[in-house]
Amino acid sequence: MSELNKHSCKSDSVKEVQHVCTNFHNAIEFIGKRWMGAVIYALMTGPKRYHEIISSIPGISDRLLTERLRDLESEGLITKKVIATSPKRVEYELTTAGKDLEEVINTLVKWAKNHSNK
């Protein structure tokens, strides 16, 4: 049985169901924010510096990237690692929760690929 069939967002009598629905609702709108998917995607292959992220996403602005990195940090999906070199280096890295999004991203990449060929 799929996750979906086990839970119905229609029922509001069960707190657990409401909780799952609210979290799903927040999660899908969070990852669907402008450029969010591309930023998560860019970090999936490992920690990256700011300039590496921006150069891997054609079209994203400085302002948007900074905003998305802040969103991801405040949601606990990335950490900002300061490496004590001179000059110091800052790297952004997905946390375990952030890395766990890989399955979501992969199924969506697969869907987008299949769907666009139709």
> Are 96 and 38 within 8 A, CB to CB?
no
Q: ∠ at Cα 41 (36, 43), nearest 5°?
A: 100
Among 15, 32, 87, 88, binds its own copies (CB under 8 A): 32
Nearer to its own copies, 26 or 66 (CB): 26
Minimum CB separation from its own copies for residue 96, in Å?
9
Q: Segment 41-100, which members bind its own copies (CB under 8 A)?
A: 41-42, 44-45, 55-58, 76, 97, 100
Nearer to its own copies, 38 or 78 (CB): 38
104 makes contact with its own copies (CB under 8 A): yes
Total count of residues recorded for the chain? 118
CA 33 to CA 77: how far, in whole Å? Answer: 15
24 makes contact with its own copies (CB under 8 A): yes
Task: Give the Å distances, CA to CA, from 68 to 45, 47, 74, 105.
Answer: 18, 16, 10, 17
17 makes contact with its own copies (CB under 8 A): no
Which residues, in sequence order, are CB contacts of 68 under 8 Å at separation 6+? Answer: 33, 35, 36, 39
- For its own copies, the binding residues (CB under 8 A) are 2-5, 7-10, 12, 19-21, 23-34, 36-38, 41-42, 44-45, 55-58, 76, 97, 100-116, 118
